[in-house]
């Protein structure tokens, strides 16, 4: 059952990155869209993510619940030492979620829209950035449980070059995912072209920030090279991700939407595999070389057993329903 629970945890994290990420990305793209095209971007976006956005964010909750039920030490280590970035990310989640709904459901469309839009865009950016920073911090080896002063215990664990580079990289990836996703939702060729352009920019940004991640890893002594070059699976994943990049550009120019989506999802999955496989089952790397590992901190057997069953039964209920939701709203209205 332990394996099942871990598999669900990985799945939830992955899907949150993909679906939630695309969702944040939509806001990020809007942020970087010229004023004159914004309202069209907004419409396409609303159309595409309106029905599924709440479901997309459930993956985060599933991941958190799995963490605190089955791996409480991981959950508490993160909540104590990464309190500040978590709180910022939460503020981002609150702001963008409410702004998104408010701007659509406000019965009167007036100047308030200006405010909602502002909030939505900036908070999407902040949320994605801090999600990335959190991911970076967990890997960075800078979290120091024995620190005696405030800055070491609560700030430098996440405020370091590596975490920030991962944050920026994540932001670019989110924008990229969203652009790719939205290409398929466009009604006119003109819109389509715009999103293709956006996807290209975001992809370039991702490559640049990706390079920054490697530099900062070297600066901060994060053994990133060991994970992605000297580890067979890591290397394979990175290679596949890079190869698919070429294919992706080709398809992008051709405007093939469905395969593009799959490919972009695949690419992000590979990136996550690459950075996590080599040190699995370690989850958090602490300062001084200690790790918090999934296997070692797992909750007692009965808890894991009942959680596992809850997840398995839950997915029998959820997945068909969810699939149908995506399917139903994928169909183009004739």
Which residue from 158, 153, 97 is spatially nearest to 129, judged by alpha carbons? 158
Which of 78, 240, 96, 195 shows the shortest CA–CA distance to 145? 78
Rg (CA), the chain: 20
- Minimum CB distance to other proteins smaller for 39 or for 314: 314
Helix (H, G, I), strand (E, B) or coil at 142: coil
By CB under 6 A, residue 61 contacts ligand HEM = yes
Work out what residue 296 binds among other proteins, ligand HEM, none; the CB cut-off runs from 5 to 8 Å by kind.
Answer: none
Q: Cβ 13 to other proteins, closest distance in Å?
A: 14
Q: Does 94 bind ligand HEM (CB under 6 A)?
A: no
Burial of 107 (0-12, 13-18, 19+ CB in 10 A): exposed
In angstroms, the CA 12 to CA 33 distance is 30
Instruction: Please name the residue ranges forming H helices in the chain.
Output: 2-15, 21-31, 38-49, 53-70, 72-81, 83-105, 112-140, 150, 161-183, 189-219, 224-228, 232-254, 257-277, 301-330
Strand partners, 293: 282
Among the listed residues 5, 4, 64, 72, the one whose alpha carbon sits nearest the alpha carbon of residue 299:
72
Interacting residues with other proteins between 43 and 82 (CB under 8 A): 50-52, 54-55, 57-58, 60-62, 64-66, 68-70, 72-73, 75-76, 78-80
Chain centroid to CA 94: how far?
A: 16
Sign of CA dihedral 114, 120, 125, 127: positive
CB of 69 to ligand HEM, least distance (A): 11
Candidates 40, 83, 256, 261: give the one binding other proteins (CB under 8 A). Answer: 83
**Which is closer to other proteins, CB of 154 or CB of 227?**
154
Minimum CB–partner distance for residue 281 and other proteins (Å):
18
Binding mask 129-158 toward other proteins (x if CB under 8 A, else -) reads ---------------------x--xx----
The residue nearest ligand HEM at its CB is 61
What residues contact 219, with CB distance under 8 A and at least 6 apart? 161, 162
Residue 291 interacting partner from ligand HEM, other proteins, none (CB closer than 5 to 8 Å by kind): none
Interface mask (CB under 8 A) for other proteins, residues 275-294, using x and -?
Answer: --------------------
Q: How many residues bind ligand HEM (CB under 6 A)?
A: 3
Residue 223: cis peptide before it, omega within 30 degrees of 0? no
Instruction: Closer to other proteins by CB, 11 or 233: give it.
Output: 11
Q: How far apart are CA 230 and CA 209, in angstroms?
A: 22
- The 38-57 contact track toward ligand HEM, x by CB under 6 A, reads ----------------x---
- Give burial (CB, 10 Å; 0-12/13-18/19+) of 248: buried
Q: Assess 105 for contact with other proteins (CB under 8 A).
A: yes
Length, in residues, of the chain: 334
- Interface residue list for other proteins (CB under 8 A): 50-52, 54-55, 57-58, 60-62, 64-66, 68-70, 72-73, 75-76, 78-80, 83, 86-87, 90-91, 93-94, 97-98, 100-102, 104-108, 150, 153-154, 299-300, 302-303, 306-307, 310-311, 313-314, 317-318, 321-322, 325, 328-329
- Interface residue list for ligand HEM (CB under 6 A): 54, 58, 61
């Amino acid at each position: 059952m332990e394996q099942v629970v871990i598999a669900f945890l990985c799945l939830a994290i992955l899907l949150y990155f993909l679906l939630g990420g695309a969702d944040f990305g939509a806001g990020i793209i809007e942020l970087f869209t010229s004023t004159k095209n914004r309202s069209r971007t907004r419409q396409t976006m609303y159309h595409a993510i309106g029905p599924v956005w709440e479901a997309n964010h459930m993956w985060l909750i599933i991941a958190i619940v799995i963490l605190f039920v089955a791996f409480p030490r991981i959950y508490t280590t993160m909540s104590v030492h990464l309190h500040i970035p978590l709180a910022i990310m939460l503020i981002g989640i609150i702001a963008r979620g409410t702004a998104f709904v408010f701007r659509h459901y406000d019965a009167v469309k007036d100047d308030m829209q200006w405010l909602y839009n502002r909030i939505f865009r900036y908070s999407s950016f902040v949320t994605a950035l801090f999600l990335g920073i959190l991911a970076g911090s967990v890997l960075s080896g800078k979290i120091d449980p024995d620190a005696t002063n405030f800055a070491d215990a609560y700030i430098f664990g996440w405020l370091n070059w590596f975490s920030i580079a991962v944050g920026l990289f994540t932001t670019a990836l989110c924008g990229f995912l969203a652009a790719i996703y939205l290409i398929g939702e466009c009604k006119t060729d003109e819109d389509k072209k715009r999103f293709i352009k956006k996807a290209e920019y975001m992809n370039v940004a991702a490559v640049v920030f990706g390079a920054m991640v490697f530099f900062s890893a070297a600066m901060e002594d994060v053994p990133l090279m060991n994970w992605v070059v000297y580890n067979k699976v890591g290397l394979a994943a990175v290679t596949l991700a890079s190869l698919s990049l070429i294919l992706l550009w080709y398809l992008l120019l051709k405007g093939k939407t469905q395969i593009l989506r799959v490919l972009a999802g695949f690419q992000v999955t590979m990136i996550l595999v690459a950075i996590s496989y080599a040190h699995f089952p370690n989850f958090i790397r602490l300062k001084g070389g200690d790790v918090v590992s999934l296997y070692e901190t797992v909750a007692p057997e009965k808890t894991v057993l009942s959680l596992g069953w809850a997840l398995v039964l839950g997915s029998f209920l959820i997945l068909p329903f969810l699939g149908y939701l995506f399917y139903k709203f994928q169909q183009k209205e004739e």
